[in-house]
């Protein structure tokens, strides 16, 4: 993950940057907002921007919006500066990181934006065959289309292919086509010239130019508008792009990998995806099977996630009991590996004995039901563990305690808490708004509420 810090480096933010580097981030730093914007315009893109609250956070956010640069912004400042933290959030910052830095909070923010590891954990024989195929085609220059359900590890496979390719020492650039609004995606991919549109105050280098010499991943390419698909097809065929607002073609040298959770042949038949583009992308197809079809990987993945989140949260690594493993093996895993990861992250935090047992395994189906105000589902989630301490409490009280305890553990970080709970950030925010209206203390980012 590429992190850009905007603000003068002092002792605390230097410590934060070292934590980020230790977590796998590539960190760049500039002193002020103009320098940060110039860096991003010049093709030094970032997947996350951290900005000092002493600077004009609102100006940075509005400039990024007007220039169609899509990147999340996180503010940082001294932990006792609550007023500045609130102002930064109101100005458009996604989160606030208090200094001195907390390693878990830094890790939570980084993980919420991007998972940088390219290690694929597997032991299933079917998955081993797919890895062998990936390794065989990786050294080629052929475009690769990676298909499969959400959460199966398609981006992880793309990074694996880059690491095994002849371009491994060059840059890997990822663009999430589903996360960037349609009116911003063209500029994100191809860049723009000064004056190309209102707010284009300077030239910007797009992701195709940035990725020259390396690999460009178009994540969830099926979400791209058909108008833009035509320009993408030309870029792939001619290996050249034209910035928005320019007529001058620019040669690019990229290896293209795309992912989708849709059936592109079916989308082409429906007219929602260009058939000629589908054939250009689908030179080699790698299908990532759902977790329920590779149950031989569940134990290996579960143990990997226990080790990962025990280390991240500073707790002892516990073994998974046979009963808990059986519960994991029998689950349908509609969210695939991502759902399994969230489940084990929760289990690491909730385990109180000498091993991770069934009482710590709260499956996403249960939490989804709880978030939908389904009393039966909430009760089911509660009874996954010991119910003795829950008797006498309402379903709503049990749910509130779980949510606020998790939020406190995350020092108020909404994104991290929602990930652990296995619910959407919107659901979490709606719950917190409800609690605030009821007079229940809810922590701001960087705080812990006294309950």
Average pLDDT estimate for 341-352: 90
Q: Position of tokens 């108008």? A: 227
The 10s digit of each residue's pLDDT in 228-239 is 999 999 999 999
Positive or negative, the CA dihedral 236, 242, 247, 251 is negative
All domains of the chain in start order, with CATH: 2-113 (3.40.50.2300), 125-289 (3.40.50.300), 293-437 (1.10.8.60)
Cis link prior to 116 (omega < 30° from 0)? no
Residues in the chain: 451
Query: How many angstroms separate the CA atoms of 238 and 252, rounded?
Result: 9
Per-residue pLDDT reduced to its tens digit, 167-180: 998 999 999 898 88
Mean pLDDT over each residue of the chain, to the nearest integer: 84
pLDDT at 380 over 50: no
Secondary structure letter of residue 247 according to DSSP: -
Residue 374 pLDDT > 80, yes or no?
A: no
Burial class (CB in 10 A: 0-12, 13-18, 19+), 358: middle
Question: Considering only CA atoms, which of 360, 175, 145, 335 is closest in space to residue 259?
Answer: 145
3-state SS assignment for residue 255:
strand
Task: Specify the pTM.
Answer: 0.66
352 pLDDT tier (thresholds 50, 70, 90): confident
pLDDT reported for residue 436: 81
Residue 373 pLDDT exceeds 70: no
Of 434 and 127, which is predicted with more confidence? 127
3-class secondary-structure state, position 286: strand
pLDDT score at 371: 42
* Model confidence at 383: pLDDT above 60: no
Per-residue pLDDT of 95-129, as tens digits, reads 888 877 777 667 666 665 544 456 789 999 999 99
Which of 11-20, 120-129, 375-384, 432-441 shows the highest mean pLDDT?
A: 120-129
Query: How does pLDDT run across 279-323, given as a tens digit for each residue?
Result: 999 999 999 999 999 999 999 999 999 998 888 778 899 999 999
- Tokens 């930064």 correspond to what residue? 88
């Amino acid at each position: 993950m590429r992190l850009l810090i905007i603000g003068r480096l002092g002792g605390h933010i230097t410590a934060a940057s070292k934590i980020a580097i230790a977590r796998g981030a590539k960190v760049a730093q500039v002193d002020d907002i103009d320098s940060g914007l110039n860096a991003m315009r010049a093709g030094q893109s970032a997947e996350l921007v951290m900005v000092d609250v002493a600077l004009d956070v609102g100006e940075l956010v509005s400039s990024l919006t007007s220039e169609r640069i899509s990147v999340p912004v996180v503010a940082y400042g001294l932990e006792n500066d609550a007023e500045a933290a609130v102002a930064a959030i109101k100005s458009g910052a996604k989160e606030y990181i208090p200094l001195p830095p907390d390693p878990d909070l830094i890790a939570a923010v980084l993980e919420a934006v991007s998972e940088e590891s390219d290690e694929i954990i597997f032991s299933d024989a079917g998955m081993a065959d797919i890895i062998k195929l990936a390794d065989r085609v990786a050294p080629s220059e052929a475009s690769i289309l990676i298909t499969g359900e959400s959460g199966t590890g398609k981006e992880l496979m793309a990074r694996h292919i880059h690491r095994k390719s002849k371009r491994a020492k060059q840059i890997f650039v990822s663009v999430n086509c589903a996360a960037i609004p349609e009116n911003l995606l063209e500029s994100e991919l191809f860049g723009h010239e000064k004056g190309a549109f209102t707010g284009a105050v300077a030239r910007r280098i797009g992701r195709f130019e940035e990725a020259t010499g390396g690999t460009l991943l178009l994540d969830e390419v099926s979400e791209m508008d058909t108008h833009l698909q035509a320009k993408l097809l030309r870029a792939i065929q001619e290996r050249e792009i034209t910035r928005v607002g320019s007529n001058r073609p620019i040669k690019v040298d990229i290896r293209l990998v795309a992912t989708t959770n849709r059936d592109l042949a079916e989308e082409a038949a429906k007219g929602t995806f260009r058939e000629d583009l589908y054939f250009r992308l689908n030179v080699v197809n790698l299908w990532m099977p759902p977790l329920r079809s590779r149950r031989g990987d569940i134990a290996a993945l579960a143990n990997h996630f226990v080790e990962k989140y025990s280390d991240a949260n500073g707790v002892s690594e516990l073994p998974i009991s046979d009963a808990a493993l059986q519960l994991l093996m029998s689950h349908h895993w509609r969210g695939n590996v991502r759902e399994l990861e969230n489940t084990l992250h929760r289990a690491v935090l909730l385990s109180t004995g000498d091993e991770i047992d069934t009482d710590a395994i709260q499956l996403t189906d249960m939490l989804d039901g709880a978030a939908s105000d389904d009393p039966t589902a909430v009760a089911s989630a509660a009874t996954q563990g010991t119910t003795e301490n829950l008797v006498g409490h309402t379903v709503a009280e049990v749910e509130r305690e779980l949510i606020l305890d998790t939020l406190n553990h995350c020092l108020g970080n909404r994104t991290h808490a929602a990930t652990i709970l296995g619910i959407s950030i919107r659901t979490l925010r709606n719950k917190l708004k409800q609690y605030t209206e009821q007079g229940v203390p809810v922590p701001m980012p960087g705080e812990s509420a006294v309950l």
